[in-house]
Amino acid sequence: MKISYLLVIMTLSALLFSCKTEHPSLPAVIPMPVSMEVAIGDFVLKPSSRISYTGGVEAAAVAEQLAAMLRPSTGFALNTSEDSDGDIRLVTDNSGEWKPEEYRLSVTGRRVTLTAATPEGLFRGIQTVRQLLPPQAEGSAIATDVDWVIPCVDITDYPRFDWRGMHLDVSRHFFDVDFIKRYIDILAMHKLNVFHWHLVDDQGWRIEIKKYPRLTETGAWRVDREDKPWNSREPQQPGEKATYGGFYTREQIKEIVEYAAERYITVVPEIEMPAHVGSALAAYPQYSCTGGPFTVPPGGVWPITDIYCAGKEETFTFLEDVLTEVMELFPSPWIHVGGDEADKTEWRRCPDCQARIRNEGLKDEDELQSYFIRRIEKFLNSNGRGLIGWDEILQGGLAPEATVMSWQGFEGGVAAAKSGHQAVMAPVSYCYFNVYQGDPATEPVSFSGLLTLKKVYSFEPVPPELTPDESKYIIGAQGCLWTEYITDGKTAEYMILPRLTALSEVVWSAPENRAWEGFSARLPKMMERFDAMGLTYSK
């Protein structure tokens, strides 16, 4: 074909298939890239194909991850080497202007060229390369009768938000290291970059702390009432053994943090305070107002009155010790300190808490909570970390540098942004994946409530009442998975998929590139990928 003729066809097809008017024959990439143009032809991956990279050891690691992903299904060797002439080229080039995490992908009949300024950009880019291949590429055994082709495309892509997160509660039910890695893999393929790990709650303390061994010896275990409904479980009785639970050792935590880092995912640990700490108080009752004794509750607790004492100095010594070990394990710039749902009944009758209110000139128990969080923030800041907490940390006044995770609605995030604080949006109504996604009659037992895929997709993290300047404080959004009713990994996968797939487009793609019809047309291909990966998901 003459070159001019080809150019005309390419231009026409680019116009036709430009993703602004999403065309059904566009490759089914989720989240939708910033710009994607399709040309005629395919690149064919062959047994002799080679992956080259420039950019040193981190680029090498990304090239190796791409090869490792494709070797089992293709059976090809896919050798990687540091040069510039592989069939698939990963190029590190930080000249010129690049957005954070940006990658550019050019596929011609001769080669695939993925360029980015950083290895992180390359890593996001290989997620797109995966999706341009047939779904069988995701399989763990050799797939035969597959044409390993990638359509010719030109893609420029970068995320809308810096914080693209997914949370997992491992307290209400414990999930093992293998599942946590699988969960991180799911986040990575969706180009998410934050794993919010809810390690502490009333029903189980899940992180080994050297200085306070009883946190896991006692706090990680509860009596087994799994045969009873969550909210009608009798507390542990005298003489009963607590046998149900688990925790992560320091070594396991390091392994997971490293695994996530290799996927350019930050693990943000959540160490709850002052409430949701029944497990900690069962181990160390002296840090409560009453002194206990307490047992780890095997099911629902409400209201949450047994909380850390804000009057005793020893409470803060304990928490600073715990956070010091947490910071050793987690390089995350943020440490999540919970802050939600504290019932302050005990603070009202505790002489130590009341003395603290008087001595600090605080107005009431809300201001005492604010004192508590500010004090912890100061400690974290002095160690070079930032504090993030659920939106209740606004009560009694927000700590000076705090980031707010807005869960009860949008209001907390709006208040934070209007006062110059960063906020992550995770409103229950769009982001809590622990409620039903379909007819309860045919779904696993969940929290009551319905959050459909379409509603997740319609989520707009930046509330309209914010000015453009204020909007900059909305650094992103995340999904949450609370596990009161989720006892195993397969159910956890089912609850997040494909709602997480919808959320990934909310947090990554430009709003003008988002359309429910286009997403629904691309989703079945993603589901074929889930099938090939053996993931459990809602159809």
b/e sequence 139-148, b meaning 16+ C-beta within 10 Å: beeebeebeb
CB of 354 to Zn ion, least distance (A): 8
Is residue 340 a contact point for ligand ACM (CB under 6 A)?
yes
276 is catalytic: yes
341 is catalytic: yes
Burial of 219 (0-12, 13-18, 19+ CB in 10 A): buried
Instruction: Please tell me the distance from the alpha carbon of residue 124 to that of residue 131, in angstroms, as a whole number.
Output: 11
Q: Of 36-44, 311-319, 327-335, 397-405, which part binds Zn ion (CB under 5 A)?
A: 311-319
Instruction: Please tell me the distance from the alpha carbon of residue 297 to that of residue 318, in angstroms, as a whole number.
Output: 22
Q: How do beta strands 200-201 and 194-198 pair? A: unpaired
CB of 327 to ligand ACM, least distance (A): 22
b/e sequence 482-492, b meaning 16+ C-beta within 10 Å: bbbbbeebebb
Residue in 120, 201, 270, 392 annotated catalytic? 201
Q: Of 22-30, 97-105, 285-293, 428-436, which part binds Zn ion (CB under 5 A)?
A: 285-293
Residue placing its CB nearer to Zn ion in the complex, 196 or 344: 344
Q: What are phi and psi of 302, to 5 degrees?
A: -160, 135
Is residue 311 a contact point for Zn ion (CB under 5 A)?
yes
Could you say which of 53, 175, 284, 407 contacts ligand ACM (CB under 6 A)?
407
CB of 340 to ligand ACM, least distance (A): 4
Residue placing its CB nearer to ligand ACM in the complex, 224 or 340: 340
CB of 325 to ligand ACM, least distance (A): 24
Could you say which of 122, 180, 253, 350 contacts Zn ion (CB under 5 A)?
350
Residue in 173, 276, 336, 421 annotated catalytic? 276
Could you say which of 341, 343, 367, 531 contacts ligand ACM (CB under 6 A)?
341
Written as six digits, the tokens of 49 are 């194909």
Residue placing its CB nearer to ligand ACM in the complex, 409 or 444: 409
Is residue 430 a contact point for ligand ACM (CB under 6 A)?
no
Residue placing its CB nearer to ligand ACM in the complex, 158 or 205: 205
Is residue 352 a contact point for Zn ion (CB under 5 A)?
yes
As beta bridge partners, residue 51 has 80, 88
Residue placing its CB nearer to ligand ACM in the complex, 478 or 513: 478
DSSP of 491-533: HHHHHHTTHHHHHHHHHHS-GGG--HHHHHHHHHHHHHHHHHH
289 binds, among Zn ion, ligand ACM, none (CB under 5 to 8 A by kind): Zn ion
Residue in 255, 341, 352, 364 annotated catalytic? 341
Instruction: Please tell me the distance from the alpha carbon of residue 67 to that of residue 74, in angstroms, as a whole number.
Output: 10
Residue placing its CB nearer to Zn ion in the complex, 290 or 487: 290
Rg, the chain, Cα only: 25
162 is catalytic: no
3-state helix, strand, coil in the chain (%, to 5): 40, 20, 40
407 binds, among ligand ACM, Zn ion, none (CB under 5 to 8 A by kind): ligand ACM
CB of 292 to Zn ion, least distance (A): 13
Is residue 353 a contact point for Zn ion (CB under 5 A)?
yes
Is residue 433 a contact point for ligand ACM (CB under 6 A)?
no
- Residue in the block written with tokens 């699988």: 182
Q: Is the peptide bond before 468 cis (omega within 30 degrees of 0)?
A: no
Q: Of 158-166, 310-318, 385-393, 525-533, which part binds Zn ion (CB under 5 A)?
A: 310-318
CB 92 within 8 A of CB 117: yes
Instruction: Find the helix or strand (DSSP H, E) in which 213 lies.
Output: none
Q: Where are the alpha helices (DSSP H) in 284-364?
A: 313-329, 345-349, 351-359
CB of 290 to Zn ion, least distance (A): 8
CB 84 within 8 A of CB 52: yes
The contact set with ligand ACM (CB under 6 A) reads 340-341, 390, 407
The contact set with Zn ion (CB under 5 A) reads 289, 309, 311, 350, 352-353
Residues that are catalytic: 201, 276, 341
